[in-house]
Amino acid sequence: MPFFHSVILPSLKAGNKCLIVSHANTLRTLIKQIDNISDEDIKGMSIPTGIPLLYRLDKNFKPVDPNTELEFRYMVEPKGYTWATSRAHGFHGVYLGDLERLQDIQRKRDATNRDWQRIILRNLALSLHRDMENHHDGELSNAGNLGDGVLETRQLWWQIHTKMSQKEFSNMVILARMKDHLEMLMYKKRKRFISIGQVEKVINQLHLDTEGHVVEPFVKVSEIGDREERAKQWYESMALDLEEECLIK
């Protein structure tokens, strides 16, 4: 940040455009400071290698919102996070360049994230199964698999609910959908127990059904409709700013 304030900002104030090249974590730290993003939210930010990330700053050197700034032309929507649109986290940059590569990066991130959520669910079921086996003085067969047997539906629901009460797991789509499925079994079908095989089947199906939903894909911005909408938003925001200024005066 001392370098940013002593070198980059003076250059911007002189009317220059700056190109900053560095490693991902350094760039992530810089973006965190520019956009005032929280420690927790910045962890999920995507920094694709070799793809330009563009910021425009206003006269106070605050980042301009790319969704409302009329002359901010970009090739892809500003998506930088796993769990929400960029604006929800305060991210104001936009990625430029190779749309297909960005989409491929997001597809891989989506697949990795879905795999991770599937592992979490399987581990919760394994842990619950192990506890039941130990309670009955038995041994868990096939330690690396879910194996045979049954689980109490409510207990599995509670395990997932407890996991999701932790902030880092709270927005996991596959876990949330598994909770919904177990609630449906409990309250609509009155199923007190669920077999291990059924759990495995549901987890695998949710893994397939959520493809492309866990990590939002990059999509191309149209040249006409989206620009007109951005122009409308821009003029509306200007009118609101003017109205607020008049009220203050």
Contact 193, 153 (CB under 8 A): yes
Give the pLDDT score at 97.
66
Token pair belonging to 32: 């965190």
Q: Does residue 168 sit in the same domain as residue 244?
A: no
Contact 135, 155 (CB under 8 A): no
Give the pLDDT score at 240.
72
In a domain? residue 126: yes
Give the pLDDT score at 79.
43
Q: Does residue 196 sit in the same domain as residue 223?
A: no
In a domain? residue 21: yes
Q: Does residue 84 sit in the same domain as residue 155?
A: no
Q: Give the C-alpha separation, 54 to 94, whole Å.
A: 5
Domain count, the chain: 2
Tokens 């207990």 sit on residue = 155
Q: Does residue 7 sit in the same domain as residue 50?
A: yes
Give the pLDDT score at 142.
44
For the residues 10-32, what does the mean pLDDT come to?
A: 90
Residue scoring higher pLDDT (85 or 170) = 170
Q: Does residue 223 sit in the same domain as residue 198?
A: no
What pLDDT, in 10s, does the model give residues 70-92? Answer: 445 444 444 443 333 345 556 77
Q: Does residue 26 sit in the same domain as residue 68?
A: yes
Highest mean pLDDT among 25-29, 34-38, 133-137, 152-156: 152-156
pTM of the prediction?
Answer: 0.57
Q: Does residue 37 sit in the same domain as residue 73?
A: yes
- Residue 218's pLDDT band, with cuts at 50, 70 and 90, is low
Q: Does residue 84 sit in the same domain as residue 166?
A: no
Residue scoring higher pLDDT (37 or 80) = 37
- Residue 49's pLDDT band, with cuts at 50, 70 and 90, is confident
- Residue 225's pLDDT band, with cuts at 50, 70 and 90, is low
Q: Does residue 202 sit in the same domain as residue 121?
A: yes
Contact 48, 102 (CB under 8 A): yes
8: domain range?
2-97+219-248
End-to-end C-alpha distance for the chain, whole angstroms: 35
Task: Check whether 163 has a pLDDT greater than 60.
Answer: yes
In a domain? residue 242: yes
